[in-house]
Amino acid sequence: MNGKTFLLVLMAASLLSGCLRKEILDDINIESAVGFDYVSPTKIKGTVLIPIYKKEETANKTLTAVSVSTKDILEELQHKTPEPLVNGSIEVALYGKRLAEHGLFPFVDNFHRDSSIGTGLYLAVVDGTAEQLLKGHYSRQGNGIYLSNLLKHNIEQRDVPKTNLHLFLKMYYADGQDPFLPYLRQVGQDVQVEGIALFRGDRVVDYIERNNMFFFKILTDSYTEGTHTVRLQKGNYASVKNISTKRTISFSGPKTRPHLHIHLSLEGVIREHKQGPFTPSTQQAVQQQFEKEIKINASNLLRRFQEQNIDPIGLGEWAKSQYRHFSYRDFYRRYRHLPFRITADVRIRDTGIIE
């Protein structure tokens, strides 16, 4: 390489490096969670959570602003901090109940269009306001990580079906399924999963209570871990753990008068049994009672979805895969009166307890 060529390369490198925006961690505010709340038909309130790292714990700093859009809110918040706000590390986005019932799409789509935010971002609806929940103090690791771990744990090992930014938008854009999100509530110094928020389009129209979350999850998602307590006669009960599930959804009859069949298969082990030894006859009684509970509760949920005219299970997508020349419009025109049958097969592999 001659001197002239080397000089040109050096000048080009200098110009290109000058185009890069350098961000040093000590000179920026990294957002770990955000929240949005309804103010009026034309205004929303935005809250950002900024972790302040100290030697022994992580403190929480919140900033709020009111404006007409999320972009304007971010601009307003930039005026309230001496360092730039950076949103590439947001792990959780929360939406107040009132805002969710008015429609979330503009505030979710904004994240989808931001290349610095991953599609694995957790979304949740809050009972009350997102601002109030974000201002709490829940752990020494900071509220952003606390909320992210709370949702991750309940999705992977408890009763919340898989959900994140990518899956929410996928369900929203799908013609054959309606979205859902976890429903959170602040309880003292903790946050708990209160249920599941159900959407019609981008608006919340119903909430699954906590005691129905298990049955909702086996209808909408596979279940590889978790616990369910089966109530038996005379105050006896059995706790079934390490549950794995499989669902089979099929349609019979012509597409103009389809009949739905949902079969739910479960396997698990007994981790706790209240009265006496766990005999084969007790095992059979647990399996039968568990199957009965599944059929009753799953049927009640499906009828509830039909009454609300929502389809969080994605039955429209399943029907489309089984009928040629399928019409979503015709399917959902008959959806409220769709006849269905739910069956269940529960198998207890072993007791897993010391008798």
Average pLDDT for residues 31-60, to the nearest whole number? 89
**Interatomic CA distance for residues 321 and 324, integer angstroms:** 8
| pLDDT over threshold 90, residue 254 | yes
Instruction: Quote the pLDDT of residue 349.
Output: 80
- Do 201 and 79 lie in a common domain? yes
Last residue of a domain, one of 211, 236, 264: 211
Ranking 21-30, 295-304, 334-343 by mean pLDDT, the lowest is: 21-30
Question: For residue 345, with 0-12 CB atoms within 10 Å meaning exposed, 13-18 middle and 19 or more buried, which class applies?
Answer: middle
Is the CB of residue 264 less than 8 Å from the CB of residue 239?
A: no
DSSP string, 93-117: EEEEHHHHHH--HHHHHHHHT-TTS
- Examine the pLDDT at 122 and tell me if it is beyond 50: yes
Q: Is the pLDDT of residue 23 over 50?
A: no
Residues 239 and 151 in one domain: no
Give the CATH number for residue 250.
Answer: 3.30.300.210
Q: Please report the pLDDT score of residue 27 as a whole number.
A: 53
Once rounded to an integer, what is the mean pLDDT over residues 330-346?
Answer: 97
Using the predicted structure, report yes or no on whether residue 118 has a pLDDT greater than 70: yes
Tokens 């790292």 correspond to 53
pLDDT at 21: 44
- Higher-scoring residue by pLDDT: 44, 24: 44
Mean pLDDT over each residue of the chain, to the nearest integer: 87
The CA distance from 336 to 124, in Å, is 28
Handedness of CA 46, 147, 122, 320 (dihedral sign): negative
Q: Are residues 150 and 257 in the same domain?
A: no
Do 203 and 296 belong together in one domain?
no
**Burial class, 205, CB count within 10 angstroms (exposed 0-12 / middle 13-18 / buried 19+):** middle
The predicted structure's pLDDT at residue 236: 83
Q: Which domain holds residue 171?
A: 25-211
Tell me the average pLDDT across 304-311: 98
- With respect to residue 7, please indicate whether it lies within any of the assigned structural domains: no
Pick the most confident of 83-97, 231-245, 255-269.
Answer: 255-269
| 140-155 tens-digit pLDDT | 888 999 999 999 999 9
Q: Shortest CA distance to 216 belongs to which of 298, 152, 290, 155?
A: 298
CA 65/CA 80 separation, integer angstroms: 9
Token digits for 304? 């509830």
Give mean pLDDT, residues 230-242. Answer: 84
- Is residue 47 a part of any domain in this protein? yes
> Tokens 């709490």 sit at which residue?
136
Instruction: List pLDDT tens digits, range 153-187.
Output: 999 988 999 999 999 999 999 999 999 999 999 99
Tell me what the mean pLDDT of segment 341-352 comes to.
Answer: 86
Say if residue 159 is in the same domain as residue 191: yes
Q: How far apart are CA 90 and CA 32, in angstroms?
A: 4
The pLDDT value given to residue 351: 61
Query: What is the model's pTM?
Result: 0.87
User: Does 8 fall in a domain?
Assistant: no
Domain annotation covers residue 19: no
What are the tens digits of pLDDT across the range 293-303?
A: 999 999 999 99
Residue 1 pLDDT: 54
Confidence check: pLDDT of 287 > 80: yes
Q: Which of 211, 237, 258 is the last residue of a domain?
A: 211
Same domain for 233 and 111: no
Inside any domain, residue 9:
no
**Confidence band (pLDDT; 50, 70, 90) for 88?**
low
Confidence band, pLDDT 50/70/90 cuts, at residue 272: confident
Q: What is the pLDDT of residue 22?
A: 44
Residues 133 and 172 grouped into a single domain: yes
